[in-house]
Amino acid sequence: MATEFGTRLRQLRVSRGWSRVEVASQLGVVEATITRYELGQREPGNDALVRFSELYDVSLDYLFCLTDKPGFTGKRLYLKDYLAHYPPEVREWVVGPGAGAYVLAAKEAADAGLDAEALKSIIETIRRELIRAQKP
């Protein structure tokens, strides 16, 4: 059974006239993955959520049906806007494949007014800890 989130994804896709194959291609996944998201059979990870938000140009609040306004609401911003003043290599670390753990760090760093070097340091620390935690 479709969830509110899955229904919202489907509505966004259909409103743009895109097929599941087209969305899957743009996100670098197979069509079955998009189908499962839309039917509520699978939940996307953080990196997929960011890609959906950017693909459809909507906020995460809108994707999660927390608002009916697709754009900015209150103080919430798109991740790409939090990262806009950082160099491209920093943005790639935060929103690249498997980067879900970095999303919160990027938001907190931007909110705190940290510069790119401070964010790089935070990201590298998180990476080291994740790698260390995965070792047997």
Give the model confidence (pLDDT) of 122-136 as tens digits: 777 766 766 666 665
Mean pLDDT by 10 residues, the chain (136 residues): 82 93 91 93 85 85 80 53 63 56 59 71 70 63
pLDDT per position as a tens digit, 89-105: 666 655 555 455 455 56
CA 95, CA 45: separation in Å to the nearest integer? 12
- pTM: predicted TM-score of the whole model, two decimal places: 0.54
**Residue partners of 41: CB distance under 8 A and separation at least 6:** 35
Structural domains present in the chain: 4-63 (1.10.260.40), 79-134 (no CATH)
